[in-house]
Structure 1
Amino acid sequence: MKILSWDLNLKVRLVGEALYNTLFWMYFPFLTLYFSKTFGITIAGLLMSIPPLIGIVGSLLGGYLSDHLGRRATMLYGALMQTGMFALFALSISDWVDYVAYIGISLGGAIYHPASNAMVADLTPEKDRRKVFATFVTAMNIGCVFGPLLGSVFFFQYRSELLWTCTFVTLIYFIAILLLIRETVPESARKPDHSTRLSSIFKEQWKNYRVIFFDKVFALYILAGIFVTIAFRQLNMYLAIYVEDYVPAQTLFSWKDWSFELSSMEVFGWIMGLNGLMFVLCVIPVTKWFEHWSDRNSLILSSFLFGLGMFLVGLTTNVWLLFGFVIIFTIGEILNGPVSSSFVSKYAPEDARGQYMGASNLQFSIGRFFSPLTLILSTWLPAVGVFGFIFLCTLISILIYLKLFQNIPNMKQLEKKAIQ
């Protein structure tokens, strides 16, 4: 399915999300360091576990609103909230206000994403979904190439200007959604809701999500995803701390009397840049190479490669070896995204697609909540012990995926499944 043949909704979102994520990766990887220097590493670890809890509420609410108010309206709410919170962060009234703004940005994103994913599924034939989701992953990670490299300078030296830029880009994207994007909820899935009382909304949410969470297969999928997310999140959590504390400044290239050296934080920027570059260049090819693999085998290989690569990182401080291990865990990370999104879109009934997408995001919110545990563990475990814990999380996810797919004998049964 070529991009030129895509629906206008998908084209607009592809460009908008690519621009937004370019700026996103200029500040996000450095928030843990920023708050750890402001509040101390232990307090920062606790504080960084709170936004994911807010994100849980946001994801569930976003999924509910996506099915009741529509994908477009929900995306507008999320984008508008992020615009306001970026402006608040840019004003930087105090460290605590900065933290509240970060929570608001996370909440806006949590509301936005279930509707965004549901819209992709609405507009894409099932056979093309992996490729389309892979294209969106590529666009979202274009910023990973240069974002961390630029952010290592701009976030700490020109933070206000960077955040105001994020504010205006998000505002422009909000206007683009308002003017160019149409609603895509299928007629068969429309759920008229005349109740505007907040208590009624949450009561119906609880009723609907209760059905989803009593689905054994989907519950196992969420549980496995939590452990995967704990591991994946260490790119922006413990890895930054490890590089700053253990990886010394060193020469990357030298020629006679000339040499190119990197400081610890520049090494981290290059690591994140390499990770992002691989996403941009390799998501679509890797997705194509593995398109005939089952979801089961793809998810298991993804977890193993990521866990192994991260564990190997903890065994060295040599910059070139680090780059090699980054390649290993990035391939694992690349495999996960399109397969996970495709799995949920096939599993979810059409009339509850938004809520399943919202419930699916719980794995990320809960995983993000537990991911700061590595910062606390690092105060009394050596680095190799922390990376061993990360590897253990991915191995546990593999066991859960094995159990999950034992309950799905074949994909035909999966595709026919519906809420009872």
Structure 2
Amino acid sequence: MKLRLWDTNLKVRLIGEALFNMLYWMYFPFITVYFGSSFGNQIAGILMTAPPIFSIIGSLVGGALADRLGRRPVMLLGASIQTLMFALFALSPSRWIDYAAFIGIGIGGAIYRPASSAMVADLVSPQDLRQVFATFTTANNIGAVLGPAFGAVFFFHYRQELLWSCAFVLLLYFIAIYFIVHETVPQLEKHKDLSVSIPRMLKEQWKGYGIIFRDKVFLVYILAGIFALVTILQLDLYFAVYVTNYVPAQTLFSWHDYELVLSSKDIFGWLLGLNGLLFVLFVFPVTKWFRNWKERNVFILSSLLAGAGTFALGLNTNIWFLFFVTIIFTFGEIVRSPVTQSFISRYAPEHARGQYMGANNLQFTVSRFLAPVTVFMSAWLPPMGVFSMILVFAFISILLYIQLYRIHQE
């Protein structure tokens, strides 16, 4: 599906989200360091466990409202909350207000995302879903590659200007949604009676989620995603601990009398950069290569590559070997990205698409809770013990994906 044939809604979203993601990655990677310098690392670590909880609530509420009120109003609500919270962060005189604003930004984003994803599913035919989601992933990852490099300067030296820029871009995006984006929720399913009391509405929505979580196929899909993502999320967790603590400084290349020597931290930075660059360059080609593959096989290949690539990190500390296994690991991450969204977009019934999208985000938030267990266990286990545990997580996800499609076919 060529970009010029996209619905106007999708084009507005692509531009708006790409701009915002660039700014997002200029502050997000440094937020833990920021709070750690203010409250101490132990308190900051505890504080950073709260945002995922609020994100779960925001996703479930946002998904429910997207089915009841429509996609557009919920996207406007999420964008407005984020705009206000960025402004509060920029004006804040206190680190605790900074923290409250950071949580508010997360809640706004969590409310926005299910409606946004449901809108794509409303507008795109099933055969084009992978390609469209791959386009959004590419745009987002351009920001993930460039953002941290700029953020290292702007967040610490021009923080207020950066936060005001985020607020301004989101305000422009809010205006674009208001004036350009049209509603896409299936009209026959859209609730017209909005006079229902809030307690009754919430009760109805939670009842709807109760039905979703009794859906055996969906439940196995979430569990499989949690174990797969625990493996993939190690890039920012044990991957970092292992490289900085066990990989020695090395020469990347030499030219006559010149040598480029990288410290452990430098090596980790290069590996992160390679991961982001591969994402930007290969999301589209990989999506096309696996276009005719069954989703089941793509999920299994993803878990296998991510698990094997991570495990192989512990086999050798040579920098070029680490580059090689990072490529394997990253391709495991790349192949699953578009398929995750396309599966749930096709599987969710039209009348509950927003709720399914909201519940789908649970695999990301729960895996963020569980993934740090590898860092915790590294105090007792040697590196290969931790890498073996990560490999087991990957194999569990493979078994669950096999079971998922067995149930789904039945």
Tell me the secondary structure at the aligned position of residue 93 of structure 1: coil
| Other-structure match for 1:141 | 141
Q: What amino acid sits opposite 1:47 in the alignment?
A: L
Correspondence list, 1:212-291, <5 A: 212-291=212-291
2:347 aligned with 1:347: yes
- How far does residue 253 in structure 1 lie from its aligned partner after superposition? 3.4
The one-letter code of the counterpart of 1:138 is T
Counterparts of 1:255 and 1:104, CA distance in 2: 51
**Contact in 2 for aligned 1:221/1:404 (Cα 8 Å):** yes
Match of 1:172 in 2: 172
Distance 2:157 2:46 in 1: 26
Contact 1:25 1:143 in 2 (8 A): yes
If the length of structure 2 is used for normalisation, what is the TM-score?
0.92
Which residue identity does 2:398 align to in structure 1?
Answer: I
- Tell me what 2:209 maps to: 209
1:64-83 alignment to 2 at 5 Å?
64-83=64-83
Matched with 1:118 is 118
Task: For 1:3, give the aligned amino acid.
Answer: L
Match of residue 4 from structure 1: 4
Measure how far apart 1:265 and its partner are.
4.2
Aligned-pair CA distance for 1:76: 1.1
Q: Could you give the per-residue CA deviations for residues 49-80 of structure 1, whole angstroms, max 9, x where no partner exists? A: 22111111111111111111111111111112
The letter for the 2-side match of 1:26 is: M
Superposition TM-score, scaled by structure 1 size: 0.90
Does structure 2 conserve the Cα–Cα contact (< 8 Å) formed by 1:226 and 1:366? yes
Q: In terms of mean alpha carbon deviation, does 9-18 or 150-159 score higher? A: 150-159
- Once the two structures are overlaid, the 10-residue window that deviates more, 95-104 or 305-314, is 95-104
Residue pairs, 1:387-398, within 5 angstroms: 387-398=387-398
Residue 366 of structure 1 pairs with residue 373 of structure 2: no
Distance 1:7 1:48, change over 3 A: same
Whether the 8 Å contact between 1:138 and 1:280 is mirrored in structure 2 is yes
Moved more, 30-39 or 400-409: 30-39
Q: How many residues align?
A: 410
Q: Which deviations, in whole Å up to 9, do the C-alpha atoms of 1:358-415 show, x marking residues without a partner? A: 11111112222223333433444444433333322222111111111111227xxxxx
SS in structure 2 of the partner of residue 252 of structure 1: strand
Once the 2 structures are TM-superposed, how far is the Cα of residue 202 of structure 1 from its aligned partner?
1.7
> Structure 1 residues 124, 24: closer, same or farther in 2, change over 3 A?
same
Q: For residue 48 of structure 2, what is the aligned residue in structure 1?
A: 48
- Alpha-carbon spacing, 1:89–1:245, altered in 2? closer, same or farther (3 Å): farther
Offset at residue 209 of structure 1 (A): 0.7
TM alignment of 1:397-416, pairs within 5 A: 397-409=397-409
Partner of 1:332: 332
CA shift digits 1:190-233 (9 cap, x unpaired): 12242453322220111111111101011101111122222232
| Alignment-derived partner of residue 15 in structure 1 | 15
2:125 counterpart of 1:128: no
For 1:31 and 1:314, how far apart are their aligned partners in 2? 29
Name the SS of the counterpart of 2:253 in structure 1.
strand
- Distance in 1 (alpha carbons) for counterparts of 2:278 and 2:253: 21
Aligned twin of 2:300 = 300
Partner AA of 1:51 in structure 2: P
1:186 to 2:186 alignment: yes
C-alpha contact (below 8 Å) 1:49/1:368 kept by paired residues: no
Between 1:201-210 and 1:151-160, the stretch displaced more is 151-160
Q: Output the amino acid matched with 2:279.
A: F
- Residue 255 of structure 1 and its aligned partner are, at CA, apart by 1.7
- Listed one character per residue, the Cα deviations across residues 100-157 of structure 1 (whole Å, up to 9, x for unaligned) are 3222222111111111110001111111111111111111111122223333343344
Are residue 151 (structure 1) and residue 151 (structure 2) matched? yes
Paired with 1:266 and 1:93, the residues of 2 have a C-alpha distance of: 34
Counterpart CA distance in 1 for 2:182 and 2:212 is 28
d(CA) in 2 for partners of 1:399, 1:331: 20
Q: CA separation in 1, counterparts of 2:312 and 2:259?
A: 27
CA distance in 2, matches of 1:99, 1:375: 24
Cα drift, residue 34 of structure 1: 4.2
Structure 1 residues 239 and 97, CA gap change in structure 2 (3 angstroms): farther
Aligned CA distance change for structure 1 residues 98 and 339 (closer, same or farther; 3 Å): same
Q: Name stretches of at least 5 consecutive residues in structure 2 with no aligned partner.
A: none
Hey, what does 1:377 align to over in structure 2? 377
Structure 1 residues 19 and 393: alpha-carbon distance in aligned structure 2, compared to 1, 3 A threshold: same
Q: Distance in 1 between matches of 2:122 and 2:56?
A: 23
- Which has the larger displacement, 343-352 or 379-388? 379-388
Higher mean C-alpha deviation, range 228-237 or range 361-370:
228-237
3-state DSSP of counterpart to 2:205: helix
The aligned counterpart of 1:417 is none
Distance in 2 between the 1:231 and 1:83 partners? Answer: 33
SS of alignment partner, residue 301 of structure 2: helix
Q: Give CA-to-partner distance per residue, 1:241-297, whole Å, 9 cap, x none.
A: 444444455443332233344454443333222222111111111111111111111
Flag the 1:347–1:183 CA change in 2: closer, same or farther, 3 A.
same
Relative to 1, partners in 2 of residues 1:200 and 1:249: Cα closer, same or farther, differing over 3 Å? farther
Asked if residue 26 in structure 1 is aligned to residue 26 in structure 2, the reply is: yes
Equivalent in the alignment of 1:199: 199
Identity of aligned residues (%): 60
1:64 touches 1:354 (CA, 8 Å); kept in 2?
yes
Aligned partner of 1:271: which letter? Answer: L
Superposition RMSD in Å: 2.3
CA–CA distance in structure 1, aligned partners of residues 285 and 385 of structure 2:
34
Structure 1 residues 262 and 92: alpha-carbon distance in aligned structure 2, compared to 1, 3 A threshold = farther
Q: Distance in 2 between matches of 1:146 and 1:330?
A: 17
Alpha carbons 1:71, 1:118 under 8 Å: kept: yes
Gaps of 5+ in 1: 411-420
